[in-house]
Amino acid sequence: MRFRCLVWPGLVWAYLACACGGLPPEVKRARDLLERGWYRDAERAADRALDGYPGHPVLWRVKIQAAMGQRDAQRAVALYKEWHTTRQPGPDSHDRVVLRRMALSTLWQGLRVPSGRVQARTIQAIERLEIEKLARDVADRITDDDDVVAAAAAVALLRSDFNAPRVATQLLSSEVAEARAIVIEGIGRKIRSAARGDLLPFLADPSPAARLAAVRAVAAMNDDRDNARFIAMAERDGEGSIRAAALRVLADSTRAWHRSADRATAVAAARRALSDHNSAARLAAVAVLQRHRDIEALRRVMQSNDLPSALRAAAALHRATAGDNRDRDRAGDRGQQAVFALIDRALADLAPAVRVAGIEASVEVMPVTLTKKLSRGRLGDASDRVRLIAARVLLRIGERGGATAALVTALDSAEVDIRVEAATDLARLGHPRGLLALAELCQSADDPAIRELAVRRHGDIDKLTMGLVTALADSSPRVRVVAAETMLRVAD
């Protein structure tokens, strides 16, 4: 890949010097010490210079970056908070220059933590962000003893380092399944159809992770010669998630089907998959039947006791017959009454996931007026998740009032991931409670996975908060890396 160059300290200093008519000698000395890597001396020099130049941005940036250089992220974050307050914060008063530098330092340090998986995720973040300044550090890890690290590095530099293709090819034979999966995904993404012959054998890899990577890589090549392989995997693979993935490939609306025999075989496989013990495989089978317009089979599914699949089939039938000029605002015909009865059954089910499926199906098959009434009624459901989905459906159809109130209530849910989702939705709406709650969840959630989710959601809404800044010093190296990548996207 080609790495792009983000703004680096030397360019920032040059810009500031020109903009300010040249730096004062004391400020310049602190900056020069930092650039030489003498972090403690740079911080002391910045402290002394602040007596004469209080609030000077270069001096505060030197102090913060010096703390990061000494691998003291906690102190760097504390200094940033102090600097942020000094700058008289407004709605968007974050110092994006220093935040980008803190994030870059975090990624540089992520390449040096003991965990190989964290190093690999750091490399993948650097690849996604195309950070040219760290390309050499990534290249140094192509020969790492940890196959997962070496795989991530080889994929990142597959098109720009002469060693990378050779190492990637060797790692296809690695005993570490995660390393094989990383290389399969990378080769499929970067080499594409030219690597088809090399990747086909991995559809039979003993590792589910490697097989899944191969399914995705080969499917992206959209070669109808592979349809038979995916049909076989949908029927015979021992892993439910792989069977579901193969069925989703067969349901892909952009996939080529030049042989009618393959289509017939795919439909037959999907019909058999309706009894698969894996729920994701059953839902994917309905999608295959929809793709190939097997109306008869969809109607049978709609009559089944598998409510999630029945609801999906009802929505598929509605889309397939949308051109029959039925008036959606009149629920008089037998077909519509059957669908509405199905949704009523789902909403009365004891399982929250089934009630969620009923609410989501209503958007597709019911008139807006009925969907609105149904979703409003579910705002009082016993399940936090059902109430969240009902609020989202109301937002989707333009009903903000009751939905916003329900989302605010969801911020107190005992399920922390529900709080993250509600906070994200409120932040998208511009509600002040949303961004505040999301920032708090970056710091307060006991589970690192929840903190990571809250950090990622900042990227979804493209907002900076002090919670995201604090995550750069999180106790979990993985959360720190995710925070750094999110920071660089949002602060760019």
At 464, phi and psi to the nearest 5?
-100, 135
CA gap 298, 311 in Å, rounded: 10
Task: Tell me the β-bridge partners of 4.
Answer: 131
Q: What percent of the chain has pLDDT over 90?
A: 87
Distance CA 463, CA 456 (A): 11
Please report which confidence band the pLDDT of residue 17 belongs to, taking 50, 70 and 90 as the band edges. Answer: very low
- What confidence category does residue 18 fall into, taking pLDDT thresholds of 50, 70 and 90? very low
Per-residue model confidence as pLDDT tens digits over 291-326: 999 999 999 999 999 999 999 999 999 888 765 444
Query: Which band of pLDDT confidence, cut at 50, 70 and 90, is reported for residue 11?
Result: very low
Give 423: exposed, middle or buried? Use CB within 10 Å, 0-12, 13-18, 19+. buried
Whole-angstrom Cα distance, residue 111 to residue 144? Answer: 11
pLDDT at position 88, please?
A: 66
Q: Is the pLDDT of residue 21 over 60?
A: no
Distance CA 315, CA 298 (A): 10
- Name the pTM for this structure: 0.90
Quick: pLDDT tens for 65-98: 999 999 999 999 999 999 998 876 555 689 999 9
The per-residue pLDDT for range 162-218, each reduced to its tens digit, is 999 999 999 999 999 999 999 999 999 999 999 999 999 999 999 999 999 999 999
pLDDT at 145 over 60: yes
Answer whether residue 123 shows pLDDT above 60.
Answer: yes
Give the angle 270-275-281 at the CA atoms, nearest 5°: 60
Which distant-in-sequence residues (6+ apart) come within 8 Å of 197 by Cβ? Answer: none
pLDDT reported for residue 90: 59
Work out the pLDDT band at 336, boundaries 50, 70, 90: confident
